[in-house]
Amino acid sequence: MDIATGGPMVAILNQKDAKKLDLHSADRLLVQDRKKDVVCILDISESRKAVPEGKIGLFEEVLDALGVKQGHEVTIKLTGKPESVAHIRKKLYGQPLTYTELLHITDDITHDRLSDIEKTYFVAASFTRGMSIDEIVHLTKAMVETGKQLQFPGITLDKHSIGGVPGNRTTMVVVPIIAAAGFTMPKTSSRAITSPAGTADTMECLATVELSEKKIKSIVSRTGGCMVHGGSMALAPADDKIIEVEHPLSIDAEGQLLASVMAKKYSIRAKHVLIDIPMGKNTKAATRKEALHLKKMFEIVGRKLHMNVKVIITDGSQPIGYGVGPLLETQDVLSILNNDPAAPRDLREKSLMMAGLLLEMTGTYKKGMGKKKAQQLLESGKALRKMHEIINAQGRREMPTLGKYMYTLRSRSSGKVSGIDNAFIAKVARVAGAPEDKGSGLLLNKKVGESVQRGEELYTIYAESQFNLDQALEFLKKKNGYVVR
C-alpha cells in the first residue's frame, strides 16, 4: 500500500471479498507466505481503486515482515483476537490483573498486535479503575521483560524528574558530577512530547544521542556516564507506545506513570534512584498532598523492586534556569559547568543538591557531605572535564546557532514578578519551534520575586523562521505568562 502505520500490522481487503468471507473491520487476519506468517488487523476498502477484488493490500510493516513484493500470492485465515483483549475487558470491569495477564498485554503492545482502540481501552481502564501496588509492580516487571535489559559495571545510579517545569535540565549537570566521583550513571532520556526540550533534545546540541547498545556500553565503561535517547535502546518499549495513547487525551494514569519511570531504571539495574517531583500549578503534583502521595507510591514500588529509591519534592512553581528550548538550556548547563558567575543559581543549586543526595545514597558519604563533594567536583573543573569526555565519546557535534528571528517582551507595569505560568511559557517556546528547531525558545530575564520596572525586559523569544515567530506572537495578544504586581 506504500503506507506505514508506524506500528500495527494492517491488511486491507475489498469490501466484496470481506463480505464473502464474513470478515469485519478490526478482525484479526493471519497472512501467510511460504514459511512466514503475520497476524494483521483488518481494514476494509470500499473502493475498487484502492484494493480490487481478489487482492490484499499490505502496509509496509507487513511487507517487511513477510518479505513479499507486488504480485506475490498469499494465504489468509481468520484468527482470534489476542488473549490480552480479554484481560483488557477484565480491567474495564474493575478486576485486578495478574502478572501473567499484564505480561500478555505488554507483550502485545510491544509487538503491535493490538489496535489503537484496544490500547486506548487499556489506558482508559487503568486511568479510571486505578491500579493496585501489585499491579504497578507487575506492569513494571512486564515492561522490563518485554524489552532489553542492560548491566553496567560498578554501582549504577539514576535520577528522574516527573516533569512539568520548563528548563529543569539538572541531568546534564548531575551526570558528569556523578561520573567524575567514580560512579556509573548511564542516563537514558526520552525526547520532548509536550515540553520545549527533553534531555535528549538538549544533549543533541553537543553530542550524538542516537547510539547502539554496544556503543553505549563502550562509552559508559570508558567514561562512567552517558546521556542518550532511550528509544534507541528499546528499554521498556511498551512504555513509549502507551505514552502515545495517553498524549492526545492529556491523561497520565498514576499506575502507568510509576511503572513507566521505574521500568526504565529497573532495565539498567540501577541500584540507587533519585526521583524529583516538582510541585506547582500545571505539574503532575499541583498540591503538597498530591506530591506526598506520589512520593509514597514511588517509595513503595521501589522497595518491592528491591531498589534504593529516594524521592524529593521540589519547587515547580516557575521555570528553572534562564533558557527554555534545547540550545538555550544547553547554554545554561555549560555556564554552570564552567563556573560562570552569571550561571542560573536555581539550576546550579538544585543540580548540586541532587548530585549530593545521590552520592550519599551510595553510602560513601555521610549526610551533608555529598553536596560538598559535588560542589568540589564542579568548582575544581573535574565535572566539566568529565562532560567533555562524555561528549567526545558519544560523538561531538557542532553546536547549533540561536534563532535569528527574535522578539523581546517588556513589562507593562512596575512591581515584582509574583508568578510565571509554566504551561504558557512552554507552549510559546514550542510554537516558536522548540524542540525541533534547536535554536528556538525563550530566554527569561526575570524570575519570581524579582523587581521589574515598566518597559524592562521579561523575556526574549527566539525562532528560526519569521513564520514561527509570528505564531508565537499570536499567543502574546491575550497574555504573556507573567504576573507583575
- Cell 542516563 found at: 187
Nine-digit cell string for 127:
486511568
CB atoms within 10 A of CB 290: 16
pLDDT tens digits, one per residue of 401-446 = 999 999 999 999 999 999 999 999 999 999 999 999 999 999 999 9
**DSSP annotation string for 335-403:** HHHTT-TTS-HHHHHHHHHHHHHHHHHTTSS-TTHHHHHHHHHHHTTHHHHHHHHHHHHH-B-PPP---
List the catalytic residues. 252
Is residue 306 exposed (0-12), middle (13-18) or buried (19+ Cβ within 10 Å)?
exposed
Give ranges for CATH 3.90.1170.30 in the chain. Answer: 405-484
Distance of CA 107 to the CA centre of its chain: 20
pLDDT higher than 80, residue 231: no
User: pTM for the complete prediction?
Assistant: 0.89
Nine-digit cell string for 405:
528571528
Q: What is the pLDDT of residue 251?
A: 76
Distance CA 387, CA 383 (A): 6
Distance CA 240, CA 250 (A): 15
Cα dihedral sign, 168-293-252-282: negative
Sequence-ordered alpha helix ranges (H) in 111-253: 116-129, 133-145, 171-180, 199-203, 213-223, 237-249
Fold of 405-484: Aldehyde Oxidoreductase; domain 3 (3.90.1170)
Give ranges for CATH 3.40.1030.10 in the chain. Answer: 157-233+246-394
Distance CA 130, CA 264 (A): 21
CB atoms within 10 A of CB 43: 20
Confidence at 290, pLDDT banded by 50, 70, 90: very high
pLDDT tens digits, one per residue of 95-154 = 999 999 999 999 999 988 888 889 999 999 999 999 999 999 999 999 999 999 988 988
pLDDT higher than 90, residue 355: yes
Cα dihedral sign, 314-317-322-325: positive
DSSP letter assigned to residue 190 = P
Q: Which of 18, 100, 112 is nearest to 61 (CA)?
A: 112
pLDDT tens digits, one per residue of 470-483 = 999 999 998 999 99
Fold of 157-233+246-394: Pyrimidine Nucleoside Phosphorylase; Chain A, domain 2 (3.40.1030)
Nine-digit cell string for 171:
541531568
In three-state secondary structure terms, 295 is: helix
- In 15-135, where do the E strands start and end? 28-33, 36-45, 56-58, 75-79
Q: Which of 236, 242, 295 is nearest to 266 (CA)?
A: 236
Classify domain 10-79 by CATH architecture: Beta Barrel (2.40)
Mean pLDDT, residues 265-269 taken together? 93
Mean pLDDT, residues 73-80 taken together? 91
Among residues of the chain, what percentage have pLDDT more than 90? 82
User: Would you say 140 and 258 are in contact if contact means Cβ atoms under 8 Å apart?
Assistant: yes
Confidence at 73, pLDDT banded by 50, 70, 90: very high
Contacts of 244 (CB under 8 A, 6+ apart): none
